[in-house]
Amino acid sequence: MKRTHHILAMFLLPALCAFTLVSCGKDAEEKKPEHPAVAVLKEFSEAVAQKDIDKIFSYMPPAMQMLKEVAKKEMEKDPAKFAKEFEKMAPQLGAVKSVEEKGENEVLIVCEGKMEGKSVLADVTMKKENGKWVVVSASEHEEKSEE
């Protein structure tokens, strides 16, 4: 009887170990690393939430930097009006739904968002310029029909 227990233990122990390793592997599925542009988009979203004009424009292409001074003047001239317009126009971007690389230096990110007062999915195009990811555009996501 003892011998039977030893033989069973010899077969069952490795099977139990293998089963445990497989189940741990399933529970601890490795997540795909976050695309660097997604990390930048999160930082941009935080800057928008904080209404930090300097920081917001640091995530935009150099060609848009001239708008920063216009925005700052508007903010200084009439802070209440600026805050109201900012709330209405600034995109609030949330959970990322998909990331599609359009090339080595361009990415399209579809995420939850609030644009012009309504909840939508948003398309955010980001490009790598001078080694840094910048937000080029954000627009309402349009469903592509299957033809």
pLDDT in tens, 25-62: 444 445 678 899 999 999 999 999 998 999 999 999 98
Number of domains within the chain: 1
Select the more confidently predicted residue: 66 or 45: 45
Domain at 50, CATH number = 3.10.450.50
- Would residue 75 count as lying in a domain? yes
Mean pLDDT, to the nearest integer, of 134-140? Answer: 91
In which domain, by residue range, is 61 found? 36-140
- Would residue 25 count as lying in a domain? no
pLDDT digits (tens, 9 = 90+) for 89-133: 888 898 999 999 998 899 999 999 888 878 889 999 999 998 999
Q: Which residues of 85-98 are buried (b: 16+ CB within 10 A; e: fewer)?
A: ebeeebbebeebee
- Would residue 46 count as lying in a domain? yes
pTM here is 0.70
- Would residue 10 count as lying in a domain? no
- Would residue 13 count as lying in a domain? no
